[in-house]
């Protein structure tokens, strides 16, 4: 299969719970308008699966120890920076039947610089959060993902030592994510932090990174945001595509669960 390093590619880089899968799918939809954009009833973008199939990032890279070492920015004593760059260049592949000019990948990782080093045609759209957004991202993940998949929630809890009577308490609380119960789930915040960016963007890549705050992603004029992003990723668009993309942003915002305050 062709190397991803030889193709234009966009990474949407964000922490879990910050809505980046939807934005990745929206950008993909801007490059391939034949693929409809879907909205589900819990405000998650994961009903859209097309970005999963154009590369081997999800199927292979995220299933390998070395891929996870890169995502979690760990194990440098056995896996050096130069080895990581080579690994990314040689292991990230384009699917043979991927018929799209620019590839889009949704990514959680602590250090985006190594990907920018390895992929010369990569551009990154970042959705950044403040410490004050951590509980909101936790709520989003609980509401959109774990509350919808009881088996995954059970496994998630057990992996973090929540078992027995404490697991039963957690099961009851996730069924009613009010303000009090969200406070209980603060023990989920470290999971959000595990793949949140901790290594600052290298200044040499500044022209290849577009950054916005989560609060802006969810509130600012979608026309301003989408014009800046589409121009940055060099997506050709007409008035219809632009207005459709802006409408999708508004629709996504309207489907978001209301954070209990």
pTM of the model: 0.97
Give mean pLDDT, residues 58-82. 98
Q: What distances in angstroms separate CA 127 from CA 21, 59, 257, one per listed residue?
A: 11, 24, 19
Domain 4-129+196-254 of CATH type 3.40.50: yes
Q: What is the pLDDT of residues 173-192, one digit of tens each?
A: 999 999 999 999 999 999 99
Phi/psi for 125 (5° steps) reads -105, 115
**Domain range summary for the chain, segments of one domain joined by +:** 4-129+196-254, 133-192
With a cut of 90, say whether residue 216 has pLDDT above it.
yes
Angle of the 20-31 helix axis to the 239-254 helix axis, nearest 10 = 160
Contact 125, 12 (CB under 8 A): yes
Contact 73, 110 (CB under 8 A): yes
Going by their DSSP bridges, the two strands 9-13 and 103-107 should be labelled as parallel
Q: Cα–Cα distance between 72 and 81 in angstroms, integer?
A: 13
Residue from 257, 132, 258 nearest 189 by CA: 132
Confidence of residue 106 (pLDDT cuts 50, 70, 90): very high
Contact 10, 233 (CB under 8 A): yes
Q: What distances in angstroms separate CA 31 from CA 76, 160, 247, one per listed residue?
A: 37, 40, 16
With a cut of 90, say whether residue 65 has pLDDT above it.
yes
Q: What is the pLDDT of residues 127-143, one digit of tens each?
A: 999 999 999 999 999 99
Q: What is the pLDDT of residues 25-58, one digit of tens each?
A: 999 999 999 888 999 989 999 999 999 999 999 9
Complete DSSP assignment for 177-223 = --HHHHHHGGGGHHHHHHTS--SPPPGGGGGGEEEEEHHHHHHS-HH
With a cut of 90, say whether residue 100 has pLDDT above it.
no
């Amino acid at each position: 299969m062709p190397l991803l390093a030889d193709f234009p590619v966009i990474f949407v880089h964000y922490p879990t719970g910050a809505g980046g899968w939807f934005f990745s799918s929206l950008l993909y939809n801007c490059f391939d308008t034949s693929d409809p954009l879907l909205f589900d009833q819990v405000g998650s973008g994961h009903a859209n699966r097309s970005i999963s199939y154009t590369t081997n990032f999800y199927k292979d890279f995220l299933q390998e120890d070395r891929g996870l070492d890169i995502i979690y920015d760990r194990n440098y004593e056995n896996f050096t920076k130069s080895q990581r760059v080579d690994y990314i260049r040689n292991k990230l592949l384009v699917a043979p039947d991927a018929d799209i000019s620019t590839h889009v990948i949704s990514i959680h990782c602590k250090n985006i610089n190594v990907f920018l080093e390895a992929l010369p045609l990569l551009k990154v759209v970042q959705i950044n959060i403040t410490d004050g957004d951590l509980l909101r991202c936790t709520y989003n993940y609980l509401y959109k993902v774990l509350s919808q998949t009881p088996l995954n929630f059970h496994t998630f809890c057990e992996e973090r030592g929540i078992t027995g009577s404490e697991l039963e308490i957690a099961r009851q609380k996730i069924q009613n994510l009010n303000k009090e119960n969200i406070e209980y789930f603060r023990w989920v915040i470290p999971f959000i932090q595990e793949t949140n960016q901790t290594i600052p963007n290298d200044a040499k890549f500044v022209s290849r990174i577009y950054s916005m705050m989560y609060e802006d992603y969810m509130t600012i004029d979608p026309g301003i945001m989408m014009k800046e992003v589409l121009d940055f990723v060099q997506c050709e668009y007409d008035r219809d595509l632009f207005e459709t993309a802006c409408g999708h942003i508004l629709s996504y915002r309207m489907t978001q669960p209301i954070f209990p305050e």
